[in-house]
Amino acid sequence: AMPLTLLAPRSKRVLVVGGDGFCGWPLALRLSAQGYEVLIADNLSRRRIDAELGVDSLTPIKPMAARLAAWEEVTRADGGAPRKIHFELCDVNTEYDRFKGVMERFRPSTVVHLGEQRAAPYSMKDERTRRYTVTNNLGATHAVLNAIVETDRDTHLVHLGTMGVYGYGAVENVMLPEGYVDIKMKDMHGKWQDKSILHPAYPGSVYHMTKTQDALFFQFYAKNYGLSITDLHQGIVWGLHTDETRRHPDLINRLDYDGDYGTVLNRFVMQSACGHPLTVYGTGEQTRAFIHIQNSMECMQLAVENPPKRGDAVRIFNQMTECHRLLDLVALLKRVFPGTEASFVDNPRKELRANDLRVTNQKFLDLGLKPRLLEGDSVREIHEAVTLFKSRFDPRHVLPKSFW
């Protein structure tokens, strides 16, 4: 393997697993812009799955080499030394030795792990995709943990998890806490003792189930090896550009709109811009948690910069800023973009027809996060970007193709 020429001290080196994806690519750019030396490890499986499904990002994303060259170009134009991001084509699940070798050569202070199959519909398509999602996601997480144990146990792991681990409406009329619930258990003398335990897991798809299982790996590896681990329970990410991706056309982020990978708010904005009726599943009375992509970047950087001490319990943050009922999203889009229509589609998923959701995100607020909330102007920005690439929109990819 080629030796890496390292420029930054270890404390400023971050390895981003899944750094070619929707959240990972803008994260790599953000950290690089903030003075970190970044190495991306990605097997480009997300691009391969697009080809398998015959779909494509609405935005014309560039190959990794062109992305990295564009970043060097724009940062060179800033005056200082150009910022170089390292890239290793590597499947962290099936190519463990290769990944461990990368860890040995790069010696990051932090690994941000976003390298999983993240679409609930894709994970529920058929036996092949159910099995792939479990093998890939659990294998990738376990490989990252082992590579940390074997190379340097001081390495902080930041994992991207999901709000979906709590279930939606599984427990009614509560404020969802950040990962742990305070309970009382009777001791052997019949006296009540206060305890804090992991929130019970209520996954709604095989994909979400893998995230609930990741959580047990983290609990065990934190306890047994004293690893420093942060698990981010992220809501649905919306938006397209970040401060860095908007700097050059070749840095553009992906925008998924197909029935498997497109997430609800970005799909609605895109559908409205392309003159397609909004596809509301079921009653539209489902409530979900959301976060803007720029806030997602800020949260991940805050997590990188505030590691738990080795030996502490896994630190869990709710990475979301607001909750919305789908019908309220529809109403917002109708108001901002007159002419937008909605159509009710039989729900392809097994989920509650209506649910309430209240979530605390106090830990990120305490670290200084400034929520960028959903309003007319922020959706107008995506709407304009989408309008630019309207000719790439294929209405055949919109309706759901996975059912459970």
Q: Which two tokens stand for residue 395?
A: 């209405």
> Should residue 42 be labelled a site residue for ligand NAD when binding is judged by CB under 6 A?
yes
End-to-end, the C-alpha distance of the chain in Å comes to 44
Interface with ligand USQ (CB under 6 A), residue from 141, 162, 295, 296:
162
> Should residue 203 be labelled a site residue for ligand USQ when binding is judged by CB under 6 A?
no
Nearer to ligand NAD among residue 21 and residue 348 (C-beta): 21
> In angstroms, how far is CA 309 from the centroid of its own chain?
24
d(CA 285, CA 343): 14
Stretch of residues binding ligand USQ (CB under 6 A), selected from 29-37, 90-98, 147-155, 156-164: 156-164
Q: Which two tokens stand for residue 101?
A: 């070798």
Nearer to ligand NAD among residue 201 and residue 310 (C-beta): 201
Beta carbon of residue 92, minimum distance to ligand NAD (angstroms, whole number): 4
Binding-residue pattern over the window 307 to 326 for ligand USQ, x denoting contact by CB under 6 A: -------------------x
Tell me, yes or no, if 211 is annotated catalytic.
yes
> Should residue 168 be labelled a site residue for ligand NAD when binding is judged by CB under 6 A?
no
Residue partners of 68: CB distance under 8 A and separation at least 6: 84, 85, 87
Q: What angle do CA 20, 256, 14 make, to 5 degrees?
A: 20
Q: Which of 122, 151, 168, 211 does the annotation list as catalytic?
A: 211
> Should residue 236 be labelled a site residue for ligand NAD when binding is judged by CB under 6 A?
yes
Beta carbon of residue 95, minimum distance to ligand NAD (angstroms, whole number): 8
Choose from ligand USQ, ligand NAD, none: what does 267 bind? Cβ within 5-8 Å by kind: ligand USQ
Tell me, yes or no, if 96 is annotated catalytic.
no
Token match 């738990």: residue?
308
Nearer to ligand USQ among residue 36 and residue 261 (C-beta): 261
Stretch of residues binding ligand USQ (CB under 6 A), selected from 35-43, 115-123, 183-191, 297-305: 115-123
Beta carbon of residue 136, minimum distance to ligand NAD (angstroms, whole number): 5
Beta carbon of residue 255, minimum distance to ligand USQ (angstroms, whole number): 13
Beta carbon of residue 357, minimum distance to ligand USQ (angstroms, whole number): 9
Binding-residue pattern over the window 102 to 121 for ligand NAD, x denoting contact by CB under 6 A: ------------xxxxx---
Interface with ligand USQ (CB under 6 A), residue from 32, 253, 286, 295:
286
Beta carbon of residue 366, minimum distance to ligand USQ (angstroms, whole number): 21
List binders of ligand NAD among 268-307 (CB under 6 A): none
Residue 283: closest CA among 208, 349, 374, 332? 349
Choose from ligand USQ, ligand NAD, none: what does 279 bind? Cβ within 5-8 Å by kind: ligand USQ
> Should residue 263 be labelled a site residue for ligand USQ when binding is judged by CB under 6 A?
yes
Interface with ligand NAD (CB under 6 A), residue from 20, 56, 214, 260:
20
Tell me, yes or no, if 207 is annotated catalytic.
yes
Q: How far is CA 56 from each of CA 262, 263, 265, 387, rounded to the nearest angstrom?
A: 11, 14, 18, 16
Interface with ligand USQ (CB under 6 A), residue from 30, 241, 288, 324:
288
Q: Can you say whether residue 68 is alpha, beta or left, with left for phi > 0 and alpha for psi between -120 and 50 degrees?
A: alpha
> Should residue 158 be labelled a site residue for ligand USQ when binding is judged by CB under 6 A?
no
Token match 């970040």: residue?
242
Residue 278: closest CA among 350, 334, 351? 334
Q: Which of 59, 141, 155, 162 does the annotation list as catalytic?
A: 162
Beta carbon of residue 289, minimum distance to ligand USQ (angstroms, whole number): 5
Q: Which two tokens stand for residue 49?
A: 């799955």
Beta carbon of residue 287, minimum distance to ligand NAD (angstroms, whole number): 16
Binding site for ligand NAD (CB under 6 A): 17-18, 20-24, 42-46, 91-93, 114-118, 136, 140, 160, 162, 234, 236-237, 263
Catalytic residue positions? 162, 207, 211
